[in-house]
Amino acid sequence: MADVHITIDGQSLTVPSNYTVLQAAESAGINVPTLCAHPSLKPIGACRICLVEIEKQRVLQPCCTFPVSEGMVVRTNTPKVREARRFVLDLLLSDHPLDCMTCQKAGDCTLQDLAYEYGIKESTFAGLQHDWPLQDANPFITRDYNKCILCRRCVRACEEINGVAAIGPLNRGFDTKIGTAYDGELQDSPCEFCGMCIALCPTGALQPKASIGKGRAWETHKVTTICPYCGVGCTLDLNVKDNRVVQVTSNWEGPSNHGWTCVKGRFGWDYIENEERLTTPLIRKDGELVPATWDEALDLVADKFAGYAKEFGPNALGFLSSAKCSNEENYLVQKLGRGVIGTNNIDHCARL
Ligand code: SF4
Ligand code: SF4
Ligand code: SF4
Ligand code: FES
């Protein structure tokens, strides 16, 4: 790809000719506010918060969709640009509940951050406001479209990242709203509850149900880990408060998933605190499972294995391992089967 030479805020840059102005600015560490744009999604220029001045252009242009060209001169933070962004925010907040005191997203909300940066406490436009009912008749996602700014990131995440297209814009004009076909519930739609729409939503419109009320962004810290559920090895960020997991969020650097998760990785963390989890081995005695030490349990298993192998031959035994285990653990299981017991009855299953 050939390069072009452009100037942004006085900085001379050489960037690939297929870059947008936003990509060029970001490559030089120049921050331009965005709401609808995200590096994982195709740009659509929906929100207009990223307007910039470009020489020889009659009006301000959204830099997330505007392509660079040779000799281009861009200014990202002039009074005219800031005034236009204030106007966009004013319009967005004219139909927004300003509920930051109790909103789960406060502290992690791009709209809130921009209102703070541009000093907008409330909208100057009086008029109709929506009063959409909360939609949460499913186990995982709470949808509050009163906080939706129609950036369509969720729609694009569903289609472009998860490949499902369970949601899209409904209605027209002021009554435009994101929803499933015929505005039904998510669980009656093709939704797979991957949660990518939550991960991409820049406001509090989409929230993970189980995390609401469990802590704000500034009270948690992220611990990067590998999903325990299957062999894909997706990278996840555990959001931890007081040593307890309160949410799982996307880690965009994950080499095998690039931020995507399935329903288990995103929402299946409640087992960590489940009181029914086994914490000690159990041995059946007189028909009852009773707690035992690891030495007792392992001795019993070794005796039974040896006894069955001797009585019925090694092929009476088989070893099932799991994609949830590490490579080293799987190696040791097959070594136990082949090397110690003497059978090739070895298999594995991702669901074990
Ligand atoms: S979505 Fe953002 S701006 Fe709106 S109430 Fe919640 S924190 Fe505040
Ligand atoms: S949870 Fe996943 S599949 Fe369901 S609407 Fe959101 S992005 Fe689409
Ligand atoms: S629900 Fe969130 S991501 Fe979807 S359009 Fe509304 S603000 Fe954007
Ligand atoms: S970020 Fe460019 S138009 Fe929304």
The string of pLDDT tens digits covering residues 148-173 is 999 999 999 999 999 999 999 999 99
The correct answer on CATH 3.90.79.10 for the domain covering 3-77 is: no
Contact between 46 and 169 under an 8 Å Cβ cutoff? The reply is no
From the CA of 51, give the closest atom in ligand 4.
2
Q: Is the predicted pLDDT of residue 351 greater than 80, yes or no? A: no
pLDDT, one tens digit per residue, over 329-345 is 999 999 999 999 999 99
Whole-number pLDDT of residue 200 = 98
Q: Is the predicted pLDDT of residue 8 greater than 90, yes or no? A: yes
Closest Cα to atom 8 of ligand 2: 158
Ligand 4 centroid distance, CA of 82 (Å):
14
Q: Is the predicted pLDDT of residue 127 greater than 90, yes or no? A: no
The whole-number average pLDDT for the span 285-296 is: 96
Whole-number pLDDT of residue 229 = 87
Q: Is the predicted pLDDT of residue 327 greater than 80, yes or no? A: yes
Report the alpha-carbon distance of residue 147 to residue 125 in Å, rounded.
Answer: 17
Sheet holding 11-16: strands in order across?
11-16, 3-8, 73-75, 51-54, 61-62
Whole-number pLDDT of residue 227 = 92
Tokens at 7, concatenated:
């100037």
Q: Is the predicted pLDDT of residue 181 greater than 90, yes or no? A: yes
Integer-rounded Cα Rg, in Å, for the chain is 27
Strand partners, 249: 237
Report the alpha-carbon distance of residue 250 to residue 95 in Å, rounded.
Answer: 29
Q: β-strand 3-8 against 73-75: which pairing, if any?
A: parallel
Site residues for ligand 4, CB cut-off 6 Å? 34-37, 45-50, 62, 64
Stretch(es) of the chain classified as CATH 3.10.20.740:
3-77
Whole-number pLDDT of residue 324 = 79
Site residues for ligand 1, CB cut-off 6 Å? 96-97, 99-100, 103, 105-106, 109, 111-112, 147, 203-204
Helix axes 79-93, 110-117, angle to 10 degrees: 130
Closest Cα to atom 3 of ligand 2: 191
pLDDT, one tens digit per residue, over 228-287 is 888 888 999 999 999 999 999 999 999 999 999 999 999 999 999 899 999 999 999 999
Ligand 2 centroid distance, CA of 47 (Å):
21
The correct answer on CATH 3.40.50.10490 for the domain covering 128-272 is: no
Whole-number pLDDT of residue 307 = 96
**Dihedrals phi, psi of 175, to nearest 5 degrees:** -90, 10
Ligand 3 centroid distance, CA of 218 (Å):
22
Residues of the chain with pLDDT > 90: what percent? 93
Q: Write the DSSP assignment of 52-113 as a string of letters.
A: EEETT-SS-EETTTPBP-TT-EEESS-HHHHHHHHHHHHHHHTTS---TTT-TTTTS-HHHH
Whole-number pLDDT of residue 1 = 74
Closest Cα to atom 1 of ligand 2: 193
Ligand 4 centroid distance, CA of 251 (Å):
23
Output 350 or 9, whichever has higher pLDDT: 9
Ligand 2 centroid distance, CA of 247 (Å):
17
pTM (predicted TM-score): 0.90
Q: Is the predicted pLDDT of residue 323 greater than 90, yes or no? A: no
Q: Is the predicted pLDDT of residue 139 greater than 80, yes or no? A: yes
Closest Cα to atom 7 of ligand 2: 158
Q: β-strand 141-143 against 235-241: which pairing, if any?
A: unpaired
From the CA of 263, give the closest atom in ligand 2.
1
Ligand 1 centroid distance, CA of 98 (Å):
6
Report the alpha-carbon distance of residue 18 to residue 62 in Å, rounded.
Answer: 16
Mean of the per-residue pLDDT values of the chain:
96
Stretch(es) of the chain classified as CATH 3.30.70.20:
128-272
